[in-house]
Structures are given as C-alpha cells and as structure tokens.
Structure 1
C-alpha cells in the first residue's frame, strides 16, 4: 500500500479517506484527489487505490464502462507481476484461488487476464 501512496504523491495526487456510501473509491481529476472508503478491507483498498490511480493516469473524467475496464487493467498491472501470477497459478488455477493467494479481489485477477488476452 505504501508504494501506491508514494506513487500518488509523486503524481501530485492527494489520497483521503471518507464515507462513500457504496462506492469503494472516487477520483476527482480537477482536484487531483482520490477518496477511498474508510471501511475497505486491505485487499480491496489496495486494488481500489491502484484502480483510481489508473483513472488519474489516463485522465478519465467519467466512469464509463470502457474507462472502468482500463482502470481495472492498469491496477492489475501495478499489483500483479507475471512471476507472482505464475507462482500462484502453479498452486491452483481457479481465479478465486489465485486472487486469495495474491491477496487481491477477484476483479483484479479478471482484469489481469483480460489485459493478457488483449496484448
């Protein structure tokens, strides 16, 4: 998590916590700010921060399905190395197992695999 917070700081993005009423996180491009819901578990918090950094990276101004997919794939690239994925996959090939092994939400594994297919 520290590496993601440092990345945000290097990019001039403030990260704050608050109550988001059902959303995990939100990126405000015009403010250079990410707000994370303060009730997230560690794995969801890490993925959400990486996802919102993806929105910042691409300069997204809305949450269209295409933008959400790109932000998910960006987050997966930040959080999952090919080596760690291969190691987890060698122990069990279900996406649920790999997600648990890597300490990430299933959504991260799905985005990682989707990104591989599109390359």
Structure 2
C-alpha cells in the first residue's frame, strides 16, 4: 500500500484527507480529517523516529542500530523535535559537557578540544 501523499504533486500545498475506506467491508466515510504532525516529517526523519522507538529511546542502541555517533543521534533527534514545532530543550546546554565527553571517548575530539567545550559549558 502506498504512503499518503501529504504534499500536492503540482503546487506543493498541504493535502487534506477527505475519505477513509474499510478494506474489509468497503464502507467509506467522507469528511475532513486531521493528520498527526508526525506524518508531515520527511521520510528520513520518519525512519529515524521508527528506529528511536524500536530502541525505546535508548540512544546507545540507536547509535549501534544506525552506526552513528552519540552527537549524531542527538542532532537527528533535535531536528525531529524542531520539525514538529517544538523549541529545543533548555537541558541541551546542560548536556553539552556530556556530549563533549562522549565525543572524546569516541575519538572525535582531542583532550584540549574537550576541555574547551567543557569550559564553554
């Protein structure tokens, strides 16, 4: 079954769902139905959300599943959150030190770079 086209192929305007059909008895219901904002995410973000949920939000498991670093998982999660219309978390600043330490552990930052990030906080 094909995915719901959420954008008009002609003008790129948002599409509206106006009919639902039961595949078992062919009953049809017409009207104007809302679609959850998560369905408006790009395919790549939807795939990330699926992996994130499959891993029950465990970022370490998401890292392993996608083969990416902790900061990359956090960045992708932040992109999804922002795409859904939510502001970045205030706790992002308090986790900057943890991110720097994980980057150091993964060999992505030198000792000096890690110290600098920790000082900036």
Give the shorter-chain TM-score range.
Answer: under 0.3
Bigger RCO of structures 1 and 2 (CA < 8 A, at least 6 apart): 1
Rg comparison, structure with higher value: 2
Q: TM-score, normalised by structure 2?
A: 0.23
Name the one with the larger helix percent: 1
